[in-house]
Copies of this chain bind each other. A is one copy, B any other.
Amino acid sequence: MFFPVDPRADGTILHTGNLAAKSSSGYNLNSLFVGSEGTLGLFTEITLKVYGIPEYTMAARAVFPSSEDAVNAVVSILQAGIPIARSELVDARSIQQVNHYNGTSYKVAPTIFLEFHGNEAGLNQDVGFTKELFSDHGCREFIFETDSKGVHQLWEARHNLAYAFIHGTSGKKMMTTDVVVPISELASAIHDARLKLNELGIDEALLGHVGDGNYHAILMIDKNNPSEVKIADQFNQHIVEYALARGGTCTGEHGVGIGKKKYQKREHVEAFDLMLLIKKTMDPKCLLNPDKIFDKY
């Protein structure tokens, strides 16, 4: 059966949400547009839901014998239901680069950067429990950043990590992987990635937003050297296939763009055909960010 398609890529302005905290009215178009990478429309105006600054914040560094121990420790606090605001794995090579770039002197070993939000009494109890669970996973040092300068320095070091590698590795460019595995698979995934990285013979590091099961490998390569580009591409291919084979996703936050188009059908199977159908319905002439997520048609 055929019916006339009303082409959407025609300048129509839609409001895809409202000011209600919840709604069961009609389809959830907000979620359809968010993450569509400009392939369904352009955002001309965005209303943000904002969150207050927490009453009390505690930040800490916890040092572990291995990245797998660090991951298992974070999984144990998730399983215990302790609410953590942030938990970032920074491996030994990354800590080295952090120290070099930021002038810090953090111990060069796999480390979890942590942050807790809440009220003071509740956080003291949560942090005490966290320390106990972490020590069960071999945590050697659990260091609080007690003043705002220390907290700021900790997160600045984490945020500057990419720059630390870019500025610290002359003549190389950074290539980053970005997958998510189920939390139960994360420690094995980090272990597998570490073994693979050790074989590459290029400067690399491993880090991740471990509370989400999302991890990144950083590979420093000369993009004019086909052999290094190939090593990085093969490693990325391995990481993506590893994640997809375990029910994960080929990209946790960096998006599909051009580079991960080739994994879309494999990850989504029949659902990919529906995504393409929606794209073609809303943008029949392929005007909106063509060739991203889907091949140009």
- What is the CA–CA distance of A253 and B15 in the complex, to the nearest angstrom? 20
Known contacts A1-B7, A8-B274; A36/B25 CB under 8 A:
no
Which A64-114 residues sit within 8 Å CB-CB of chain B?
79, 81, 83
* Total contacting residues, chain A, CB less than 8 A: 89
Measured CB to CB, the nearest residue on chain B to A276 is B6
Contact check, A278 vs B278: say whether CB atoms are below 8 A apart: yes
Interface centre among A30, A34, A119 (most CB of B within 10 A): A119
Contact check, A281 vs B284: say whether CB atoms are below 8 A apart: no
Copies in the complex: 2
Contact check, B260 vs A25: say whether CB atoms are below 8 A apart: yes
The answer, yes or no, to whether A136 is at the interface (CB within 8 Å) is no
The answer, yes or no, to whether A31 is at the interface (CB within 8 Å) is yes
Contact check, B119 vs A277: say whether CB atoms are below 8 A apart: no
Chain A 120-155 near chain B by CB (<8 Å), digits 1 or 0: 111111100100000000000000000000000000
Chain B nearest Cβ from A209, distance in angstroms: 9
Interface centre among A34, A211, A271 (most CB of B within 10 A): A271
Could you list which residues of chain A lie within 8 angstroms of chain B, going by C-beta atoms? 1-3, 5-8, 12-16, 18-32, 34-36, 40, 52, 54-55, 79, 81, 83, 118-126, 129, 180-183, 211-214, 243, 246-256, 260, 263-264, 267-275, 277-282, 284-285, 293, 297
Q: Which 5 pairs show the lowest CB-CB distances between chains A and B?
A: A122-B122, A31-B31, A19-B247, A20-B180, A23-B249
What are 7 A-B contacts defined by CB distance under 8 Å? A2-B5, A8-B277, A24-B256, A26-B256, A27-B32, A28-B35, A119-B125
